[in-house]
Amino acid sequence: MTFADDLALAHELADIADAIALPRFMAQDLQVETKPDDSPVTDADRATERAIKAKLAEARPNDALIGEEYGNTSGSGNRTWIIDPIDGTANFMRGVPVWASLIALAVDGKPVVSVVSAPAMGRRWWAAPEVGAHTREIDGSSRAIRVSNIADAAHASISYNNLRLWDQSGKLPQLVEFTRTLWRTRAYGDFWSYMLLAEGSVDIVAEHDLKIYDIAALVPIVEQAGGKLTALDGPLAAETSSVLASNGKLHSLATAALG
């Protein structure tokens, strides 16, 4: 078995996710509940994860699984699939098309293969060792992607996501001060910020209050595109919740300002 085989399976899982989630997007009978952590979950989240879990049980029965909605399944080796069935559930339930299924494979705890599929946007991104990072455009064409070469703050753009979470973290003043040195500030949010970084359209991304299933699928795509993704204050770990990603050239600058 090769990483190419794993990537092919990840695409198959993304196809399964698209086929379930997209028809439920903007459905009048969408079922929405609030989980104990006050985050929303829909029937589409749960149905998508069940289908992915069933396919993995068939195709990779010895691999472990970490899922957002149905918890973890142990494996017999060093391979773990990490799934967020719908990243951007709040967008999904409000009719905003910026949501995606995040599918990653970690080996020895390191995410190495991933697919991010955003069917309502007509987009998909993927990465694996010796494959690099790629995207499929809305017209169906595919291309390799690469982070930007911006190396100075005055020409850099940042996507910082939720200001309330920055305030809760106590780092809102640092964020505001840092943005004064940058060319452009935006809050594209969720997976999309990181995909724009990997494509070279954004140079720095930072946000708080993430879980492993929010992060894992982003790592291979950012890294294979030439970027860097760490915790806001050090190396990335399974318990990381505050993340910093960049084109690499700006990482030390951003860490000093925000970490």
Domains contained in the chain, CATH given: 3-144 (3.30.540.10), 153-258 (3.40.190.80)
Q: Tell me what pLDDT residue 232 has.
A: 93
pTM for the model: 0.95
Tell me the pLDDT tens digit for each residue of 101-112.
999 999 999 999
pLDDT in tens, 63-98: 999 988 877 888 888 999 999 999 998 899 899 999
238 sits in which H/E element: none
Per-residue model confidence (pLDDT) at position 110 = 96
Q: What is the pLDDT of residue 192?
A: 97
Low-confidence ranges of the chain (pLDDT < 50): none
Instruction: Determine whether 143 is exposed, middle or buried from the number of CB atoms within 10 Å of its CB (0-12, 13-18, 19+).
Output: exposed
pLDDT at position 158, please? 98
| pLDDT at residue 45, rounded to an integer | 86
How far is the first Cα of the chain from the last one, in angstroms, to the nearest whole number? 39
- Please tell me the distance from the alpha carbon of residue 93 to that of residue 95, in angstroms, as a whole number: 6
Residue 57 has a pLDDT of 93
Q: Quick check: helix, strand or coil at residue 208?
A: coil
Tally of CA atoms within 13 A in the half-sphere of 226 that contains its CB:
14
